[in-house]
């Protein structure tokens, strides 16, 4: 009887969830009350990033910062970018469009995701937060698939439970970056409300994961164009806003040789920005094979 129950439990999970850790869920035996007592950490793979530092002594993890990756790259490719010391950035987690999760920095270390920032009366949000990158080009058009929301919801729920983080401390990079307006992630079409509602359901044991579906193909060219607005008056600022990383200015210089970046770029200028990492590797004379994903997978 128990065996039959376990088998049916297993099949329900296979049918209803794409990346739930089956072993750990089965440890809890019953699906119906699995979330009330504890929230399992969703399955993840590790691509270690050297871009990390120590948390200041006695720092409590008290916030979660959501970002979009600003690229068409998948989570492994973003992890590979973070594994490169020259990128000078990282996050604790990356959630792929298909929902799978990559961890780059252990929770107890500082990841380099938020830069100059302020939240709840404190500066340097990196010191007391967990950073989650959500794979999306960040143009407010590319949709965030259901399975990706599922990955974010289950990861955030785990972190909230693990570190006793108040739900109101789940924030976006654009809300904490200083000066205000320095960041645009997460993009306008990402719903934090949907994440919060999902997290509440995971915590009270009523969460229903989405039915896995075919991944939506991404059809975004490797370069897109933006038109500068007020304040977007240098390639460094544009890299900071649209690539979520001012250290990627060199890529914009390569792509926009005719833009005079000496004084101020006028409002209304068309600027080409990369949507993948190919120009990062070119700009830094890096052989992409150096950080070949095969070494990890």
Q: Which residues bind Zn ion (CB under 5 A)?
A: 67, 173, 185, 244
Q: CB-wise, 161 or 183, nearer to Zn ion?
A: 183
Nearest of 65, 86, 39 to residue 198 by alpha carbon: 39
Q: CB-wise, 92 or 161, nearer to Zn ion?
A: 92
128 and 63 in contact (C-beta within 8 Å)? yes
Pairwise CA distance, residues 179 & 38, whole Å? 38
First to last CA, the chain: 39
Q: What are phi and psi of 97, to 5 degrees?
A: -60, -25
Minimum Å gap between C-beta 68 and Zn ion is 7
Minimum Å gap between C-beta 172 and Zn ion is 8
Q: CB-wise, 52 or 173, nearer to Zn ion?
A: 173
Nearest of 213, 212, 214 to residue 17 by alpha carbon: 212
Pairwise CA distance, residues 179 & 238, whole Å? 14
Other Cβ atoms less than 10 A from the Cβ of 46: the count is 12
- Encoding tokens for residue 95? 């959630």
Half-sphere exposure of 195 (CA within 13 A, CB side): 30
Three-class DSSP labels, 99-137: CCEEECCCCCEEECCCCCEEECCEECHHHHEEEEEECCC
Q: CB-wise, 41 or 67, nearer to Zn ion?
A: 67
Q: CB-wise, 67 or 248, nearer to Zn ion?
A: 67
Q: CB-wise, 125 or 147, nearer to Zn ion?
A: 125
Element (H, E) at 270: strand 270-274
Minimum Å gap between C-beta 67 and Zn ion is 3
Pairwise CA distance, residues 8 & 92, whole Å? 35
Minimum Å gap between C-beta 183 and Zn ion is 5
Q: CB-wise, 67 or 97, nearer to Zn ion?
A: 67
Pairwise CA distance, residues 111 & 133, whole Å? 11
Half-sphere exposure of 237 (CA within 13 A, CB side): 18
Instruction: Tell me, rounded to whole angstroms, the distance of Cα 86 from its chain centroid.
Output: 19
């Amino acid at each position: 009887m128990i065996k039959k129950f376990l088998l049916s439990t297993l099949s329900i999970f296979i049918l209803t969830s794409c990346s739930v850790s089956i072993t750990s869920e089965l440890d809890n035996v019953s699906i119906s009350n699995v979330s009330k007592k504890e929230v399992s950490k969703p399955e993840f793979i590790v691509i270690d990033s050297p871009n990390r530092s120590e948390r200041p002594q006695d720092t409590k993890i008290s916030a979660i910062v959501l970002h979009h990756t600003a690229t068409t790259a998948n989570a492994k490719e973003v992890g590979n970018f973070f594994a490169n010391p020259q990128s000078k950035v990282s996050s604790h987690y990356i959630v792929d469009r298909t929902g799978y999760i990559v961890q780059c920095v252990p929770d107890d270390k500082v990841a380099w995701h938020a830069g100059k920032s302020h939240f709840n009366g404190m500066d340097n949000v990196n010191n007391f937060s967990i950073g989650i990158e959500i794979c999306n080009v960040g143009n407010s058009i590319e949709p965030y698939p259901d399975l990706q929301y599922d990955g974010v919801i289950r990861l955030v729920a785990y972190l909230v439970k693990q570190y006793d983080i108040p739900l109101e401390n789940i924030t976006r990079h654009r809300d904490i970056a200083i000066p205000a307006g320095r960041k645009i992630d997460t993009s306008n079409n990402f719903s934090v409300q949907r994440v919060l509602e999902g997290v509440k359901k995971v915590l009270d044991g009523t969460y229903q994961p989405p039915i896995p579906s075919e991944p939506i193909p991404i059809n975004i060219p490797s370069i897109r164009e933006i038109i500068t607005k007020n304040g977007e008056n240098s390639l460094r600022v544009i890299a900071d806003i649209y690539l979520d990383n001012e250290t990627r200015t060199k890529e914009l210089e390569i792509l926009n040789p005719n833009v005079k970046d000496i004084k101020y770029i006028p409002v209304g200028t068309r600027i080409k920005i990369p949507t993948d990492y190919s120009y990062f590797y070119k700009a830094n004379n890096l052989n992409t094979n150096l950080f070949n994903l095969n070494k990890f997978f």
